[in-house]
């Protein structure tokens, strides 16, 4: 009973965060779905592929070749591979339909993010129950994370947290480090962004530690004591990710054109402006918001973090240095150009706000530390309530529905003679790439429901079209 009572704050903040994130789903009789008709439906398509692959249902028998981009193969490796999400989704899918399974998967991801970070703060930072719960709330449900609901693969950061936990556990039992490496590899298999960012952040950390004498002494001591296990794990990691690297290299998806990267350039001002319900009510009304260029956590949250950073006693220089490094990369395009040209995998980072994922754990730790060290309970709770309210977004995060998705699928009649389809949208006058992307995903879902192949596809590496080779009745008119 005592143990359950000690988790009361954790349960409170988890329920609060899930309510803030998913109230449109719960209040719409489970009709409204997270994300939009493009990215989110694409993710569900891949998750459905995993479910059908497990059952070996045609044409999904090949794990790395979901039946899109026909006749190309290896289509899974045209974007994030989502293996970690698939491990959660498939069990749900045997019990629920694709839409509810998708939503339950996101809820599970949030719960795992919260639980893993809570354990990290409690076990290794020794913070109070309230501080751990609040820090985990910031890590899991902050405004930046919420506004990435179109890209739920980025919600799998708990894999990196589990990796860190097992690395810390390996101080007593060295073999635990190999479990951490497995989690780290699974992070890359799930979200290339997060897997790559972990090592990029580690590289920044090494550089920062080398710049300060006391940090440098700690670093050299650590390497001296653990270099054998470090090298062993690096070799193990390389072995684990070899299949993934093989499939990615086949599709040549490790670099976007730099002109595309420049389209997603952000500014320091975009780190202050945000789509918080509270901030838009008090300070400004933001128009033209894009989750790919804005990364503000909220005015009050930012001021709270600055205060906490000033009060921080341990590793303050490191925190300031890595925050400045990451913000500089995001806001000075010439720095990103250096990374793009000279860092392996750097060209795969299209939206520069993705770098902000490096800072979310740091901000969460600072938040927990600051709450821990506030003396007056009244002030402590007022700050918590203010920041919690500030995490409510007015950005439309649930832009598609079950009914809408089914209407699109059912509007197409596919002849039984067709094994491959293509929806011909070439005659539609449009200059919107977003609209064209939606048609691509429409075609994928029509093919999925009919258990056939499609020329359509959606990912980082767009394959050549071959629809002219299809039977005329298999080239469907756009609805």
Quick: pLDDT tens for 11-54.
999 999 999 999 999 999 999 999 999 999 999 999 999 999 99
Of 439, 433, 440, give the one whose Cα is nearest residue 463. Answer: 440
Mean local confidence (pLDDT), 401-413: 94
Mean local confidence (pLDDT), 117-144: 96
Mean local confidence (pLDDT), 82-104: 97
pTM, entire model: 0.94
Quick: pLDDT tens for 361-398.
999 999 999 999 998 999 999 999 999 999 998 888 89
Of 99, 2, 94, 105, give the one whose Cα is nearest residue 51. Answer: 94
Mean local confidence (pLDDT), 158-171: 96
Residues in the chain: 479
More confident residue, 468 or 166: 166
In terms of C-beta density within 10 A (0-12 exposed, 13-18 middle, 19 or more buried), how is residue 219 classed?
A: middle
Evaluate whether 347 touches 461 at the Cβ level (below 8 Å).
Answer: no
Q: How far apart are CA 274 and CA 280, in angstroms?
A: 8
Mean local confidence (pLDDT), 142-168: 93
Quick: pLDDT tens for 296-306.
899 999 999 99
Of 168, 174, 171, give the one whose Cα is nearest residue 232. Answer: 174
User: Residue 6 has which token pair?
Assistant: 């000690």
Output the pLDDT for position 384.
Answer: 96
Q: How far apart are CA 291 and CA 294, in angstroms?
A: 5
Quick: pLDDT tens for 321-348.
999 999 999 999 999 999 999 998 888 8
* Torsional class of 453: left (φ above 0), alpha (ψ -120 to 50), beta (otherwise): beta
User: Residue 158 has which token pair?
Assistant: 């708990």
The answer to whether residue 467 scores a pLDDT higher than 60 is no
Share of the chain above pLDDT 70, in %: 94
Output the pLDDT for position 241.
Answer: 97
Mean local confidence (pLDDT), 91-96: 97
Q: How far apart are CA 188 and CA 80, in angstroms?
A: 8
User: Residue 331 has which token pair?
Assistant: 């806001």
The answer to whether residue 130 scores a pLDDT higher than 50 is yes
Residues with Cβ within 8 Å of 150's Cβ and at least 6 positions away in sequence, in order, are 34, 35, 36, 38, 39, 40, 291, 397
Evaluate whether 150 touches 40 at the Cβ level (below 8 Å).
Answer: yes
Question: What count of other Cβ atoms lies within 10 Å of the Cβ of residue 248?
Answer: 23
Quick: pLDDT tens for 437-466.
888 999 999 999 999 999 999 876 555 454
Output the pLDDT for position 459.
Answer: 76
Quick: pLDDT tens for 189-219.
999 999 999 999 999 999 999 999 999 999 9
Of 14, 97, 5, 110, give the one whose Cα is nearest residue 51. Answer: 97
Q: How far apart are CA 222 and CA 166, in angstroms?
A: 17
Output the pLDDT for position 464.
Answer: 47
More confident residue, 289 or 56: 56
Output the pLDDT for position 419.
Answer: 93
User: Residue 73 has which token pair?
Assistant: 């193969």
Output the pLDDT for position 267.
Answer: 86
């Amino acid at each position: 009973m005592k143990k359950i009572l000690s988790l009361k704050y954790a349960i409170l903040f988890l329920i609060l965060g899930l309510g803030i994130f998913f109230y449109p789903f719960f209040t719409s009789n489970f009709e409204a779905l997270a994300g939009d008709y493009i990215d989110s439906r694409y993710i569900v398509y891949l998750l459905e592929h995993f479910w059908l692959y497990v059952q070996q249902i045609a044409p999904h028998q090949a794990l790395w070749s979901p039946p899109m981009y026909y006749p190309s193969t290896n289509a899974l490796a045209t974007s994030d591979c989502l293996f970690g999400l698939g491990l959660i989704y498939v069990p749900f899918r045997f019990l629920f339909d694709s839409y509810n399974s998708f939503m339950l998967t996101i809820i599970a991801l949030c719960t795992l993010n919260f639980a893993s970070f809570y354990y990290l703060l409690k076990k290794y930072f020794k913070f109070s129950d309230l501080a751990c719960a609040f820090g985990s709330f910031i890590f899991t449900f902050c405004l930046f994370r919420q506004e990435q609901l179109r890209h739920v693969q980025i919600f799998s950061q708990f894999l990196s947290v589990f990796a860190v936990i097992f690395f810390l556990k390996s101080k007593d039992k060295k073999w635990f480090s190999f479990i951490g490496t497995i989690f780290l590899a699974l992070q890359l298999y799930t979200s290339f962004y997060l897997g790559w960012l972990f090592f990029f952040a580690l590289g920044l950390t090494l550089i920062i530690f080398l710049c300060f004498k006391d940090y440098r002494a700690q670093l050299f001591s650590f390497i001296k004591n653990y270099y054998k296990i470090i090298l062993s794990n690096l070799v193990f990691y390389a072995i684990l990710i070899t299949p993934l690297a093989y499939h990615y290299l086949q599709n040549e998806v490790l670099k976007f054109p730099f002109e595309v990267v420049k389209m997603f350039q952000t500014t320091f001002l975009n780190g202050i402006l945000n789509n918080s319900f509270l901030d838009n009510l008090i300070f400004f009304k933001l128009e033209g918001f894009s989750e790919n260029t804005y990364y503000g956590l909220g005015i009050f949250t930012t001021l709270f973090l600055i205060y906490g950073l000033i009060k921080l006693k341990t590793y303050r220089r490191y925190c300031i240095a890595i925050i400045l490094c990451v913000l500089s990369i995001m806001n000075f395009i010439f720095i990103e150009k250096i990374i793009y040209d000279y860092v392996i995998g750097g060209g795969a980072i299209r939206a520069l706000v993705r770098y902000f994922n490096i800072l979310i754990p740091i901000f969460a730790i600072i938040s927990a530390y600051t709450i821990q060290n506030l003396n007056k309970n009244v002030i402590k709770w007022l700050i918590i309530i203010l920041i919690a309210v500030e995490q409510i977004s007015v950005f439309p995060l649930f832009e598609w529905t079950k009914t809408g998705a089914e209407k699109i699928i059912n509007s197409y009649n596919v002849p039984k003679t067709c094994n491959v389809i293509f929806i011909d949208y070439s005659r539609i006058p449009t200059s919107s790439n977003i609209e064209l992307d939606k048609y691509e995903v429409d075609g994928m879902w029509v093919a999925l429901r009919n258990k056939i192949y499609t020329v359509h596809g959606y990912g980082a590496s767009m394959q050549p079209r071959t629809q002219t080779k299809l039977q005329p009745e298999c080239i469907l008119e756009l609805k």
